[in-house]
Every structure is written in structure tokens, then in C-alpha cells.
Amino acid sequence: MGECKQGQQQQAFWPELSTYDDNRSYLSANFHSIDAAISHYRTLAHSKSWKPLKGRFLLREGRQHAQVELIRERLRILGDYSYDHPLANQRFFDSRLTAAVITFQRRHGLKVDGIVGPNTRKALNITPRERWQQLLVNKQRALVDRVAERPDYIEINIPDFQLRYFRNGEVITQMRVIVGKKDRPTPVMNSTLKALEVNPDWNVPRRIAYEDILPKLQGEREAFDKLGVKLVKGWHEEPNVVSVDELNMDHFYRGELAEQHRFWQPPGASNPLGQLKFIFPNDFSIYMHGTPGMHLFDEPRRTFSSGCIRIEDPMGLARLLLETSEKPALDLDAELETEAASISGLPGNVEIFTRYRTAWVDQDSGVLQFRADIYRRDPNELAQLSAAQQQEPADTVTN
């Protein structure tokens, strides 16, 4: 985020650091609230300066390097390294430092391997002041986000790539998700789950058709054939499949619906939507679905979709949702075996929220969590928060 260059604006938004007397020494990254974390990082921003850890090389247990001493001290300040014992060699990467790196990586959403590489080094280089600002932005998000009106709801934190299903206020399941790319972001929204589509077909959206699929058709025909998509004409209950040699660019996603040429993919194991699709009303044509690309869930940064949300265990979630229905239970296994597309209503009492939180305190463990700002939203919202607070009387600024 960088330092504020205009001193007067900085003073108007940020309370004078020296007016806060917070000399607590946290030996862990645990806090009872986000306000406590804000207070602590405010103090760190005033008292600690960060020297960048340069380089893209790997440091791991058993190695010796001058940077190891800096890493250990930084992790101590951040609360991930709590060992207080004399060291014969400050530059030696020992098992205790490995454990501290793992703790740091886990609460920053990084690959958990105990190795300090480019991504871990980048997270360690973020200054206390930047973290303080990040916490302030996320506190404001929590204040303005709509609160669930029902005890059953699904919450997806986009930067955390996680879905959590709450029933009566308790998490009954959670799973990894894949969200939109930077140029096709998953939006923040509120809705209610309405229907479950079994064996969905895929009506390829215009943008994906033009940007992702058409270039393959115009290039290597073999690459296009591997996708499994078909060219269809018009919009009918039973798709009218035509040869791709008949593609008419004048009607490609253009003109009267009956004349349009478009891409479509039938249900099946290779369908990008997987075998289940979760439908909820929204203004963005977004839905949740399965995927045949299960290997992508092992990636720590999961921005691979075109905006929709791919979920790790669609069958598990569907069964949990259906067990609350007053109607006879849908036999998912039998429906899937037919490979025919069908839509079934859901109870309609489960809200769904997509959030954008890059910093929070875990309610159960109290561990402070940070995530990468994958869509670069933090700086803009920080500027808006700064502008709003500049308009308030100085004695009303309490952050």
C-alpha cells in the first residue's frame, strides 16, 4: 500500500500513534478481536521498521544464511516464533524456525512447507503499517456486510478460497473453492439457494466463447475437439447441434435467438460444471458447481474460474442441503447415473454470501489471519475510508 505522502491527510485519517500506550508483548498471533489486532499493529507500525528480505532463493531447515536471523526476529515480532532460548548460531535454520514458518504460512494462506521462498518472503516483507491498514479496511467490511437473517447460511470468503456452511450458527462443513481470475473476478453478493441442477449442461457464455474457445477452433482443431463443446444453432429445449464448419460469425452470439450460433457442452464427466450446479438468484449470472479439474484444489492460490465458484465437494454439500427438505429426498446417485439433466428445488431457507476479507481474527482459535488481496481491492477501499474519516471531527476517529 505504501506510505501516505501527504502529511496533513495522514494526520486526519490516522490517529497520532504516540497517543496510544499499548506496550503489550504478544508471544502469539492470537487476539480476542479485530480491534485488539488493530491496536497491536498500530503500535508495531510506530515502533518497528521493516528491511526488505531480498532474493528469490529458498531457505529451509539445515541451511545457514545471514537472512535466517532476520526471518527469526521478524517471526518473533509477528507472534509466530515464541521460543525464548539462547542460540549458538543465529544464522542456522533449525527445526523451531521451521515450525514458526509453518505457523506463519498457515495463517497467511500460503503453501505450508516450512520453506522460505519468494511467496513467504513477500508476505514477510509486508510492513506492520500496511497490515494495520489492511485490518482497518477489513473491519469496515465486516461492519457493512449484510448479516445473515436465518440460522442456516453459506459463506464464501473469496481471498481465502473457502466455503463454510453454517447450521444454527455452527459450521457443519467447510471446503476449498476456486474463484474468478483477476480479470474475471467473483463478485461480492448476497442471495438464497433456490435449486440444484443434476448433470448440468453448459451454455458457454459469450466472453468465454470468444476469448477461450474460439481461438482454439481457429488454431489447432485437435485442441478444440478435446474441449468437448459443440456448435449449436438457436435456443431450443433440445440443442440443435451443427457442424463447426457451418460457423457463421455474423450470427455468433448475435442477432435473433433462433439464428444465433453458440457453443454448448452436454452433460458428462468432462463438463466444466461437473455433475452438480447450485443455483441462486443474482445480477451476475454466477452459480456454484463441481468440476472435473480436482487437482486445482491443491493450489494455494485458486483463481482459475471465469467468475463462478467451483466447490471441492458438491455431493457432500448437496446431501446436507437436501436433508433439511420437507419433500421426499432426491436420490442423487440414481439421478447421476441417468446422465440426464434435471433441476430440483432446494428448501429455500439457506442464504449464501460471498465476502471479500483479507484479514480477520478466527472466531474459534483467535488466530489472526491474513490473505493476499487477489483483486487489488484493499487500496481503493482504504482511500475511501480515509476520505470518509477526513470529513469527521477529529475526536470521532476511534480506529
Alpha-carbon distance 55 to 248, whole Å? 52
Position of cell 525464548? 84
The beta-strand segments (E) located in 123-180 are 153-157, 162-167, 170-180
Rg (Cα) of the chain, in Å, rounded? 25
Task: Say which residue the cell 515502533 belongs to.
Answer: 47
Q: Are 158 and 374 in contact (CB under 8 A)?
A: yes
- Based on the residue annotation, tell me whether 85 is a catalytic residue of this protein: no
User: In angstroms, rounded to a whole number, what is the distance separating the alpha carbons of residues 39 and 23?
Assistant: 10
* CA pair distance 316, 312, nearest whole angstrom: 9
DSSP sequence for 254-322: -S-GGG-EEEEE-SSTT-TTTTEEEE---TT---EE--S-GGGGGSSS-EEESSSEEES-HHHHHHHHH
What letter would DSSP give residue 103?
H
**87 in Cβ contact with 68 (< 8 Å):** no
**CB-based contacts of 34: which residues, under 8 Å, 6+ apart?**
135, 138, 139, 142, 359, 360, 361
Catalytic-labelled residue, pool 251, 261, 289, 295: 289
How many other CB atoms are found less than 10 A from the CB of residue 63?
15
Could you give the C-alpha distances from 249 to 151, 208, 220, 259, in angstroms and in order? 50, 15, 18, 11
* Per annotation, catalytic residue among 40, 108, 261, 308: 308
How many Å is the maximal CA-CA distance in the chain?
78
For residues 77 and 350, what is the distance between their CA atoms, to the nearest angstrom? Answer: 42
Residue 289 annotated in active site: yes
Q: How far apart are alpha carbons 105 and 71 in whole angstroms? A: 13
Distance, CA of 60 to CA of 122 (rounded, Å): 16
**What are the backbone angles phi and psi of residue 287, rounded to the nearest 5°?**
-150, 170
Q: Which residues are catalytic?
A: 289, 308
